[in-house]
Structure 1
Amino acid sequence: MRGRWIERWDPEDETFWREEGERVARRNLYFSVFSEHIGFSVWTLWSVMVLFMGPEYGIDPAGKFFLIAVATLVGAVIRIPYTFAVARFGGRNWTVFSALLLLLPTGAAFAVMEPGTSYTTFLLVAALTGVGGGNFASSMTNINAFFPLHRKGWALGLNAGGGNIGVPVVQLVGLLVIGVAGAAHPRIVLGVYIPLIVVAAVCAALYMDNLAPVKNDTGAVKEAVRAPHTWILAFLYIGCFGSFIGYSFAFGLVLQTQFGRTPLQAASLTFLGPLLGSLIRPFGGSLADRHGGARITLTTFAGMAAATGVVVYASVTESLPVFLVGFTALFVLSGIGNGSTFKMIPAVFTRKAYGLGLANEEADAYGRRLSGAAMGLIGAVGAIGGLGINLAFRQSFQAGGTGTAAFVAFLAYYAACLAVTWAVYLRRPAEVPAQRQLSYSEV
């Protein structure tokens, strides 16, 4: 080991994994979760800030939906360069830098969060919070390299789920501030996170490692871009993660706009769905490890379509209790789907390796190589789904005053995801070489 650089890393070697690898991988996983958790909180900061923005701010619901859409868009796009930063600078080094970078949007929001600030300024500051969305891509790429294939579902699910919990946590902090200090004090929320950002950076510096064998592979990136499965999985991930992050941003605002909830009432309900969706994501990864990611993903989309039907009914009848039940189910199911879909990525590319005639260590290395390149692309495209959700809500409320039309569109998308999952990964499992029987139904 040179400084914080690990020169040899082979998690598929059972002896290495048992004697040394697992301990190091778990340590890096835990502190990666902490940093990514803070990143998610900063990324979704404006889902909380808009609850503090009363009539004195002069911003209508459509303007607020656009604010959170801008934050979603930047967080999605920035995931692509963040994916490659791990191999360029080292997982530990980049985690330290990306954590400290969160001080910029948090400090800027602290400076401008008051009535009288121009809408353009709010847009620019909301865009800055997108750097928190990038943390997911670098974190997942880093942790993917630490774990063997048979543990990736659990590890990636825990890493992503722990990060996702940053969404309900920042919403709970917002609820606490509104309940205790009132809706006129948003800067308290920001003051809580500034020291936490510093702690996350310090912990990453002290306890994480860089993997020297992880290199940016331009050939792998080009191959991943050309691979149809990259874009098929991205399409599915839009349905899962795009739903989770889009709903997380929009939930409180929908409650205020469509159901007339006060900031305190909305904040008291907003955190529950993202919390459950985050906690259950590792379970989705574990289910995929045991039963196959494609099977779990198919079941998840069927459930999401049914839950969306419930939400449409509640939206039309203006039943808040039924709406909350359906919306909470959407969060839970999206969390399961997030875990199972991301588990599919390394498995699909490892299966492709065997289809090309590779075997054993060669096939595993090929799977790691392409899945690492594909994860950033898939994560970025999936997050853009959150932008689509917020823009759909904006248009729906502008045109009809409710979110019903948007939910009907989401229902159609989940039906399409269900059909694609079945057609590509479950309808006709392909034969593979005898040395390893891994069909698409098992990915």
Structure 2
Amino acid sequence: MTAPSTSPAASRGGRWIEHWDPEDEAFWNETGEKVARRNLLFSVLSEHIGFSIWTVWSVMVLFMGPEYGLTPADKFFIVSMATLVGAIVRIPYTFAVAIFGGRNWTVVSASLLLVPTVAAFLVMEPGTSFSTFLVCAMLAGIGGGNFASSMTNINAFFPLRKKGWALGLNAGGGNVGVPVVQLIGLAVIGASGGPRVLLGIYIPCIVVAAVLAAVKMDNITSLKNDTGAAKEAVKDAHTWIMSFLYIGTFGSFIGYSFAFGLVLQTQFGRTPLQAAYVTFIGPLLGSLIRPLGGALADRYGGARITLWNFVAMVAAAGVIVIASVQESLPLFTVAFIALFVLTGIGNGSTYKMIPGIYQTKAVAMGLEGEAAAAYGRRLSGAAMGIIGAVGALGGLGINLALRQSFLSVGSGTGAFLAFLAFYVVCFAVTWAVYLRRPASNASTVTAATESKPQLSYAEV
């Protein structure tokens, strides 16, 4: 057995691990787990701050009163553009890990967060043009890319049996960056501080995250970009099916994180402070429960957890529609927070499904042991970038739908009805693709069917 070596490779600087085989239980128990957990910890820190910077404009818009000259529609558009950029950059961030190394890219991506933070710090005052605010929000979108590179990196460190927990913890720790920036924003508003105080808090935090990543994290030499895997993932129907389901879970989480405070202000007349008191609760609970979604998926199967989670999301969305029509703030708030919790569970269970799906396909192809695991890592790593990017676009859809709903009917009811219908479709797709069992009448099974068996994804 070879222990992980972090001595620099001859032609490359930095901490490089030459041998990594997490599926080998002896290797994992002796040295692998310790190294993987250390990288997970500092990956979470960087991703956490990335999420905070990505969603900082959900707090900025609460600071922006009448003196800024922006309408609610303007504010929804600003946060929509931050969501859009965050989704787009997830694709290149996914492949950057293999090009530069997971540790190296974490240092770079963390350092890049200084650009939108300093830019917003310089221009955040009344009299600044709408277009300038829009550009700053778009720059903040690069924080959304940290999730993709972090997930791809951590996916390579952990064995399949631990991926649900590890990916859930990694993503959940990152997602917590949303309520944390909102909580800090609440404290700043409560202390009558301005938006520059909030931004000033994050500038040194970004520097600390980048330095710790440089000192504590590692690169894996064997983690290389595989253009064949990327092309294969693009052509695989499961990549796009899981992207669709991830729109329903993570797209909802990030979209609601940006929009919740604005909805409370616009539809229910809450002040910035009143909105801030509530806004952080949903993202906080949704983030903290994401690892539980992954753990439940490890135990009962991601497809099963995802299916019943969509049932619950349909119910929660239905209550939100009723509360919106009746203009019941307490009912609306409770149902919205419940929906946040469900998005967190769904985020964990859907991401657990991805490596499981490709592992199942590998076994069906006749691969065994490390060959099957390698195929699963290869395809799932490539697919995660696509799925994460498309899923994040759901946040764009949510904010644009709410913007249009407020412009058209003066409330978010129309948008909430659309979200409910979408969750119904997600439920149907999950059942039809991953849980519906084909008829098993032996007399009707043809030789062609026997040569190409129906794969079962219920346990993924």
Q: TM-score range by the shorter chain?
A: over 0.9
2: CA distance between counterparts of 1:64 and 1:429? Answer: 49
Within 5 A, what are the aligned runs for 1:364-379?
A: 364-379=373-388
Aligned equivalent of 1:5: 16
Residue 36 of structure 2 aligns with an amino acid whose one-letter code is A
Shift of 1:359: 1.4
1: CA distance between counterparts of 2:211 and 2:109? Answer: 12
Unaligned runs of at least 5 residues, structure 2:
1-5, 9-14, 441-448
Shift of 1:230: 0.3
How high is the TM-score relative to the length of structure 2? 0.94
Aligned equivalent of 1:312: 321
Shift of 1:275: 0.1
Within 5 A, what are the aligned runs for 1:420-435?
A: 420-428=429-437
Q: Is the 8 A contact 2:101 2:219 kept in 1?
A: yes
1: CA distance between counterparts of 2:229 and 2:161? Answer: 22
2: CA distance between counterparts of 1:438 and 1:362? Answer: 19
Q: Secondary structure of the residue that 2:128 maps to in structure 1?
A: coil
Within 5 A, what are the aligned runs for 1:263-274?
A: 263-274=272-283
2: CA distance between counterparts of 1:23 and 1:429? Answer: 43
**What whole-Å deviation, never above 9, does each CA across 1:49-81 have from its counterpart, x for those lacking one?**
000000000000000000000000000000000
Aligned equivalent of 1:334: 343
Alignment match of 1:15 (pick from 6, 17, 26): 26
Within 5 A, what are the aligned runs for 1:279-428?
A: 279-428=288-437
Residue 373 of structure 2 aligns with an amino acid whose one-letter code is D
Q: Is the 8 A contact 2:230 2:379 kept in 1?
A: yes
1: CA distance between counterparts of 2:308 and 2:210? Answer: 39
Matching of residue 42 in structure 1 with residue 58 in structure 2:
no
The 3 A distance-change label for structure 1 pair 429 and 367 is farther
**What whole-Å deviation, never above 9, does each CA across 1:143-197 have from its counterpart, x for those lacking one?**
0000000000000000000000000000001000000125xx1100000000000
2: CA distance between counterparts of 1:299 and 1:197? Answer: 38
Matching of residue 149 in structure 1 with residue 154 in structure 2:
no
Q: Is the 8 A contact 2:364 2:455 kept in 1?
A: no
Q: CA RMSD in A?
A: 1.4
Aligned equivalent of 2:108: 97
Q: Is the 8 A contact 1:429 1:439 kept in 2?
A: no
The number of residue pairs the alignment matches comes to 438
2: CA distance between counterparts of 1:53 and 1:142? Answer: 37
Shift of 1:429: 6.8
2: CA distance between counterparts of 1:66 and 1:358? Answer: 48
Q: Secondary structure of the residue that 1:129 maps to in structure 2?
A: helix
Aligned equivalent of 2:90: 79
Q: Secondary structure of the residue that 1:215 maps to in structure 2?
A: coil
1: CA distance between counterparts of 2:405 and 2:369? Answer: 52
2: CA distance between counterparts of 1:428 and 1:99? Answer: 45
Q: Is the 8 A contact 1:430 1:440 kept in 2?
A: no
2: CA distance between counterparts of 1:200 and 1:420? Answer: 40
Shift of 1:2: 2.3
Q: Is the 8 A contact 1:429 1:441 kept in 2?
A: no
Aligned equivalent of 2:125: 114
Q: Is the 8 A contact 1:429 1:440 kept in 2?
A: no
Aligned equivalent of 1:164: 175
Residue 190 of structure 2 aligns with an amino acid whose one-letter code is G
Aligned equivalent of 1:68: 79
Q: Secondary structure of the residue that 2:284 maps to in structure 1?
A: helix
Q: Is the 8 A contact 1:296 1:337 kept in 2?
A: yes
Residue 207 of structure 2 aligns with an amino acid whose one-letter code is V
The 3 A distance-change label for structure 1 pair 99 and 430 is farther
**What whole-Å deviation, never above 9, does each CA across 1:242-273 have from its counterpart, x for those lacking one?**
00000000000000000000000000100000
Residue 123 of structure 1 aligns with an amino acid whose one-letter code is L
1: CA distance between counterparts of 2:216 and 2:369? Answer: 32
Alignment match of 1:249 (pick from 242, 246, 258): 258
Aligned equivalent of 1:277: 286
Within 5 A, what are the aligned runs for 1:171-190?
A: 171-182=182-193, 185-190=194-199
2: CA distance between counterparts of 1:369 and 1:428? Answer: 28
Residue 256 of structure 1 aligns with an amino acid whose one-letter code is Q
1: CA distance between counterparts of 2:181 and 2:56? Answer: 7
Unaligned runs of at least 5 residues, structure 1:
none
Q: Secondary structure of the residue that 1:358 maps to in structure 2?
A: coil
1: CA distance between counterparts of 2:301 and 2:97? Answer: 28
Residue 161 of structure 2 aligns with an amino acid whose one-letter code is H
Identity %: 75
4+ runs deviating over 4 angstroms? 429-433
Residue 171 of structure 2 aligns with an amino acid whose one-letter code is A
Residue 215 of structure 1 aligns with an amino acid whose one-letter code is K
Residue 301 of structure 2 aligns with an amino acid whose one-letter code is G
Q: Is the 8 A contact 1:243 1:389 kept in 2?
A: yes
**What whole-Å deviation, never above 9, does each CA across 1:123-157 have from its counterpart, x for those lacking one?**
10100001100000000000000000000000000
**What whole-Å deviation, never above 9, does each CA across 1:7-57 have from its counterpart, x for those lacking one?**
000000011001010000000000000000000000001000000000000
